Amino acid sequence: MKLLLDENLSRRLVPFLQHAHPESSQVTLLGIESADDASIWQLAKDQGYTIVTRDSDFQELTLVWG
């Protein structure tokens, strides 16, 4: 599983995740730190990421968009 850490989670976590979750990243590392939630959602969907966040925004999007 590829994880995409939201900007509220440190990019310094990514190296610790690589063994269990290869190809994981963080929004800042992908250059999309100023993107809105819908854009991050779409990128995650298109590239096979699972979003990891501390915000409730993405949980609400899950309820709306599935």
Per-position pLDDT tens, the chain of length 66? 999 999 999 999 999 999 999 999 999 999 998 899 889 999 999 999 999 999 887 778 778 776
> For the chain, how many structural domains are there in total?
1
Q: What is the pLDDT of residue 60?
A: 80
Give the structural domain span for 39: 2-53
Q: Is residue 19 part of a domain?
A: yes
Q: Dihedrals φ, ψ of 64, to 5°? A: -85, -50
Q: What is the pLDDT of residue 18?
A: 96
pTM over 0.75: yes
Q: CB under 8 Å to 5, separation ≥6 — which residues?
A: 11, 13, 14, 24, 25, 26, 27, 52, 53
